[in-house]
Amino acid sequence: MTHRLTWFEKLSFSLAGMGQNIIYNFMVSLVLFYYTDVAFISAGTAGLIMLVSRIWDAINDPIMGLIADRTHTKIGKLRPYLLAVPVPIAILTVVAFAVPDWGVTEKALFALVTFNLWSMTYTVSDIPFWGLSVAITDNPKERLNLVTMVRIFCNIGMAIGILVPPILIGLLGGSTTVVEGVTQADNANAYLWTALIVGVVGSALFLMAGLFNKERVIAPKGQSPKFSILLKNKPLLILQLSRVLGAFRMVIATVGLYFANKNLNDPAQYTILGGVLIASMIIAMFFAPMLIKRFGKKWTYIYAQILGFSAHIIMFAVGYAQLGILFGLLFLAGVSLGIGDVVCYSLTGDTVDYLEHKTGQRAEGLVFSLNTFSTKLQSALGLWFIGLVLAFIGYQPDAAVQTAFAYQGIFALLSLFPAIACILSIIPMLFFDFTEKEHERILSELHHN
């Protein structure tokens, strides 16, 4: 366990993560709004499209993980996919924001098909990428440092993917709210060109992972892992259950767009809201390794969820009349998310070693496929629930003024429901017993075998 990564390896891998997250967060934060407010697909239908698509996308993650673990080439089992996927994901990002002005059913089918194609292609990029974060070195300290750096860059990518596109849309003649003089055609063209810019830039950065990094931890030849081995990875199953139960926290960016446009009647506040949230996440990630060293990964994760619950429930109690207080509480919520993010990806990598020690099979693809499965299931449940609530409260996308009940419902999506999600995510982690000392023992035994 002596290999140390070069600065360029860490930087190129981190920039790739940034590019990937520019595309992903652009899609997650704007596609539902695009469907409802630009393509004029009903909120209920759009929410159902999200649910069906993301559940299917989550289901096919383990399939991709299995394919990756059974791939054998001269350059490894993960890198071939990282080199192949950038061009297709760029193209499909553009196509997803090109819903034609057809009938109601035709538009919904076009959205369903194109979003699914994009999602499946993204899967081909995501699982090998995070699998490579473990295969790049067997040094646990280097892995933690790499994951911390990558997650910081990923969140910078998230900031770009969430905050910059609305600015580009405005510069290109569109709008993310009801503005006199901006037609549907103007909006459609602005979103399309923005998708093109995001797709090209994000994909070019993502290509760096496959070009400039190597797989050093190689699985023994002849291995052919099966889905069933994941059932033997108890720590991984507990962690992913916790993530799914905390699903609603992961779609705050989408809620923030509705909240800024309707409750605050000021689209510019979305940039401030998102900036505060993401900046706090990035700041927190710098301190995450120190907290992990002090409290251990399990309790650092649990304390982060308690902080998130406190921030969101106070937010719900005090309301949003004072934006300074609201943004302060969002900052604390972002700190919670940032710390939990680093712990989650670090623990997932640790369970690759746990599974190899228990079964003799090294399966980065399958392990991280379950992690991406949970991420997409989070998105599916969260976006579906947003659509469900918007339909229930009588949200009107083409109306500048909503009912009082609608305003309350949108704010609850930003405050009350994330608070509940924090509490739910703690419950499984109380049964998590894979400690750092146990991981060190496993690595030592694997290294000497």
Contacts of 315 (CB under 8 A, 6+ apart): 326, 329, 330, 333, 414, 415, 419
pLDDT of residue 58: 72
pLDDT value of residue 170: 86
- pLDDT at position 222 is 60
Please report the pLDDT score of residue 183 as a whole number. 67
Confidence (pLDDT) at 107: 92
Cβ neighbours for 224, distance < 8 A, ≥ 6 positions apart: 69, 70
For position 219, what pLDDT does the model report?
66
Handedness of CA 369, 375, 377, 379 (dihedral sign): negative
Q: How does pLDDT run along the chain (449 residues), one tens digit per residue?
A: 456 788 899 999 999 999 999 999 899 888 988 898 888 888 888 888 887 887 787 778 888 888 888 888 888 888 999 999 999 999 999 999 999 988 889 999 999 999 999 989 998 998 899 889 888 887 778 888 888 899 899 989 988 998 899 889 988 887 766 555 556 777 888 999 999 999 999 999 999 999 998 888 776 666 667 778 888 999 999 999 999 998 877 777 778 888 888 888 887 788 888 888 888 988 998 889 899 989 999 999 999 999 999 999 999 999 998 999 999 999 999 999 999 989 998 899 899 889 988 888 888 888 888 888 888 778 778 878 888 888 888 888 777 788 889 889 999 999 999 999 999 999 999 999 998 889 888 888 876 65
Contact assessment for residue 64 and residue 218, using Cβ atoms and an 8 Å cutoff: no
53 with 380: CB under 8 angstroms? yes
Q: What is the CATH superfamily name and number for domain 7-448? A: MFS general substrate transporter like domains (1.20.1250.20)
- Amino acid present at 263: N
CB 160 within 8 A of CB 22: yes
Please report the sign of the dihedral spanned by the C-alpha atoms of residue 301, residue 303, residue 309, residue 315. negative
Contact between 122 and 162 under an 8 Å Cβ cutoff? The reply is no
What does the alpha-carbon distance between residue 56 and residue 123 come to, in Å, rounded to a whole number? 11
Residue 181's CB is within 10 A of a number of other CB atoms, namely 7
The per-residue pLDDT for 91 is: 96
pLDDT of residue 136: 87
Q: Where are the domains positioned within the chain?
A: 7-448
- Which residue type sits at 83? L
Token pair in block for residue 382? 């969260």
In the structure encoding, which two tokens stand for residue 402, read together? 């909503």
Q: Which of 31, 300, 15, 274 is nearest to 149 (CA)?
A: 15
